[in-house]
Structure 1
């Protein structure tokens, strides 16, 4: 019996070791894949700058925008300035977010810097049409930066500065990013003129929206929280029409002290209008709050076949 027990313990230990080795191997491959994607993101952003924006006297926001202005004024290579100006921001990222983020950002910024140097003389793909230039340039840069951010890196350090300042000042991160970029576009106007600065702002705005889409995906989810007098009917209708499950949570009115069942249900964006229709049909006076959800994992977030 003792011998059999030792064999069993040895087998368990061997299984644990093998599982750990597989996990390590999988983790290394995942990290390598993310690094490759961050580098690709840097190259895509560099292409957007060199093939669309810069030849048409349109800049970008953040550190990249300041680097473009510096390159025009000082005659230094854009890639060198991007690398140098981002150094203090990478340090901020290391202190505020962590070592892996800083390392990934170094790789992304290095890819962007090298990419702008290699692609400096590539043909411009769009000329003359200012609206098309800002839209296409913003989309390309947004895709590149979004890919980098989604995989744990960054191509521009101004966001890191905004995060740090938000802890010291009574302003939100998004407000500070906007304020810092207003300063950047004022600087841009000294080189590209007022029109160039306005077009740069439009391109930056488009890029920021594309970054959000790339990070969160087009099929982002929505969370509905519903307080109603007909919770069972609404949940059953959601199950029948949308094929979605839901959860209950007890809620109490602060003044009336009435007891309610609060329904929580996560759906995809395409189902939002159908969900609102269900609520209107059953209880038009229901109290409803809706939240954007960037990612859903685990649990039972699977759509049941409703056909």
Structure 2
């Protein structure tokens, strides 16, 4: 009997609500009481809060508004509306939920503040919205200048941390950089999870045996490209037809697959590439992001 599957909209709401609670916990339990920062729009909001003593709940909503409007044009209106509701929800959470201050230890604040912030933002992204609009700005700007989205985000964050260093001291800025790094890594983990998929391409003279073992022993689906191997420096004119095998595995399965291929053909050429999203085929269903 199949398990009960929740509707997509209910799953999205659940992810978003939990994400809001985690972000609120990170802000009021760790970052705000200790004058720490994060990157992106949240970092800008925290910086304005510290410099001008505006209420963080109002600041984080107001600062996100331009990016939400931008998101309506760069992504779609449904995304912008969901993000607006989520950001307002975060503001209400900061106003009315009585989070306690957890610790004043700077190292604990920088690490666990980033972890809880990353969990919150990552869950919101899984719910189909954004609690930090910096990537929308990077997407908008990236279409008009020659920098990548990652470079734009990095540049904006450098400006934020430089201002923090001048206004609040270098140690605070350095700890905040650690917070940002921890949050960004946690976001990636929450979105991708343990089952981040990896594409594997295998070129071997024993491709028939490898194909059979991948399907029958590992239970993976495969795709076969027809190619040629050879073309060595000393025998460039000599080549042989070969089946180029492509499959997708989770990172937990990579070692087992490599060992299996090595037993069949120690000289097989194998290379991998990270896959951000994979569905369908023989892959088991994953939560919709």
Structure 2 length-normalised TM: 0.87
Q: Distance in 2 between matches of 1:81 and 1:169?
A: 29
Q: Distance in 1 between matches of 2:203 and 2:279?
A: 25
Contact 2:64 2:133 in 1 (8 A): yes
Partner residue in 1 for 2:249: 267
From 97, 102, 109, the equivalent of 1:125 is 102
Partner residue in 1 for 2:287: none
Corresponding position: 1:35 with 2:13: yes
Partner residue in 2 for 1:228: 204
Q: Deviations over 1:24-47 (max 9, x none)?
A: xx99x5324413431331221011
Contact 1:39 1:107 in 2 (8 A): no
Q: Distance in 1 between matches of 2:135 and 2:57?
A: 19
- 1:171 is paired with a residue whose SS is coil
Q: Distance in 2 between matches of 1:243 and 1:85?
A: 49
Partner residue in 2 for 1:89: 67
Question: 1:71-90 alignment to 2 at 5 Å?
Answer: 71-90=49-68
Question: 1:6-155 alignment to 2 at 5 Å?
Answer: 29-119=7-97, 122-128=99-105, 130-155=106-131
Question: 1:229-244 alignment to 2 at 5 Å?
Answer: 229-244=205-220
Q: Distance in 2 between matches of 1:190 and 1:115?
A: 31
Shift of 1:243: 3.3
For the aligned residue pairs, the C-alpha RMSD in angstroms reads 2.2
Q: Distance in 1 between matches of 2:122 and 2:223?
A: 33
Structure 2 unpaired stretches of 5+: 232-236, 285-289
Say if 1:245 and 1:254 are closer, same or farther in 2 by CA, change over 3 A: same
Count the aligned residue pairs.
Answer: 274
From 161, 169, 172, the equivalent of 2:145 is 169
Contact 1:43 1:111 in 2 (8 A): no
Structure 1 unpaired stretches of 5+: 1-25, 303-307
Say if 1:56 and 1:151 are closer, same or farther in 2 by CA, change over 3 A: same
Say if 1:270 and 1:234 are closer, same or farther in 2 by CA, change over 3 A: same
Say if 1:239 and 1:36 are closer, same or farther in 2 by CA, change over 3 A: closer
Q: Deviations over 1:226-252 (max 9, x none)?
A: 111110111223345423342312124
Structure 1 length-normalised TM: 0.82
- 2:58 is paired with a residue whose SS is helix
Q: Which has the higher helix share?
A: 1
